[in-house]
Amino acid sequence: MSTYNENARPKVTTARLRDMKQRGEKIAALTSYDFTMASIVDGAGIDMILVGDSAANVMLGCQTTLPVTLDEMITYAKGTVRGVKRAFVVVDLPFGTYQGNPELALASAVRVMKETGAEAVKLEGGQEIRESIARILSAGIPVVGHLGLTPQSVNKFGGYGLRAKQDAEAERLLNDAHMLDEMGCCAIVLEKIPAELAARVAREVSAPIIGIGAGSDVDGQILVVQDMLGMNDGFKPKFLRHFANLHKVMTEALEQYASEVKAATFPNQDERY
């Protein structure tokens, strides 16, 4: 008999995300890029799964998120959606598929929704991509905003440092967050900004605010799943907590496998036909 209880853990939707914010229930979000990981993440009760363009770094080994293509994102999203029963699945529109061109933005978002079965798309930016967001929303496609450190603009920023430290940038971010909220974005990611500013945004807007490196006074948290599982021991920014050390666990298991194969102790008598 299945232990899955739909009443105890109903499907996460845009309405449920808003309801969670209103009730003060924090939203737990993580990335995923494939079926196996998504099944584990969803089964653990994570509320929102983002097929992030961090796939460029984590899955493809790129230095930035810029190279990943829409076709690649759709492949990652298809596998992820097949592994999910309950979480709300969001897919990043990658660099070059929505900026400065609302028609292209809508076409990209429609492809994601039709081909993957995901429930929303995420776009990086505020005022400068307003028309693209409006066009996607006009088709009934939920949009998640993303402000603060927006990695697709790394070449403009000149790195991955803390954003909105100065008053002018903080003011712009606040205005952008209000704009995204009023346009009807179903959630907004705030990445690597001062905790006090993130808390103010979360207080002032009705859309759920999901933070990464934005302190605890927001409506939820998101991390890259491989990072929080400690699979990449070379990456440990201040905001990241390792909830496991899978790099060590996996390396030990792989070394054990190699040594047992070489010693001909794997497979044993019970592991053969």
Query: What is d(CA 102, CA 224) in angstroms, rounded to the nearest whole number?
Result: 28
Q: Are 139 and 111 in contact (CB under 8 A)?
A: no
CA atoms within 13 A on the CB side of 254: 6
Query: What is d(CA 22, CA 16) in angstroms, rounded to the nearest whole number?
Result: 10
Contact segment (CB under 6 A) with ligand KIV among 10-18, 49-57, 178-186, 257-265 equals: 49-57
Q: Are 64 and 95 in contact (CB under 8 A)?
A: no
Binding mask 186-205 toward ligand KIV (x if CB under 6 A, else -) reads ---x-x--------------
CA atoms within 13 A on the CB side of 6: 2
Binding ligand KIV (rule: CB under 6 A), the pick from 34, 42, 47, 92 is: 92
Binding ligand KIV (rule: CB under 6 A), the pick from 30, 52, 152, 188 is: 52
Which residues, 6 or more positions from 33, have their beta carbon under 8 angstroms from its beta carbon?
A: 51, 52, 55, 58, 59, 76, 79, 80
Contact segment (CB under 6 A) with ligand KIV among 45-53, 93-101, 159-167, 256-264 equals: 45-53
Closest distance to ligand KIV from the beta carbon of 31 (Å): 5
121 is a site residue for ligand KIV (CB under 6 A): no
Q: Among the options 115, 191, 196, 255, which is catalytic?
A: 191
Closer of 128 and 252 to ligand KIV (Cβ): 128
Closer of 31 and 116 to ligand KIV (Cβ): 31
Strand 120-122 to 220-223 pairing: unpaired
Contact segment (CB under 6 A) with ligand KIV among 52-60, 134-142, 250-258, 261-269 equals: 52-60
Closest distance to ligand KIV from the beta carbon of 235 (Å): 12
Q: Are 109 and 125 in contact (CB under 8 A)?
A: no
Closer of 90 and 199 to ligand KIV (Cβ): 90
Closest distance to ligand KIV from the beta carbon of 246 (Å): 18
Binding ligand KIV (rule: CB under 6 A), the pick from 27, 73, 188, 224 is: 224
Interface of this chain with ligand KIV, residues 10 to 39, rule: CB under 6 A? 31
Contact segment (CB under 6 A) with ligand KIV among 20-28, 46-54, 132-140, 239-247 equals: 46-54
Binding ligand KIV (rule: CB under 6 A), the pick from 34, 42, 53, 176 is: 53
191 noted as active-site residue: yes
One-letter amino acid of 229: L
Closest distance to ligand KIV from the beta carbon of 191 (Å): 6
Which residues here bind ligand KIV, judged by CB under 6 A? Answer: 31, 50, 52-54, 92, 189, 191, 212, 222, 224
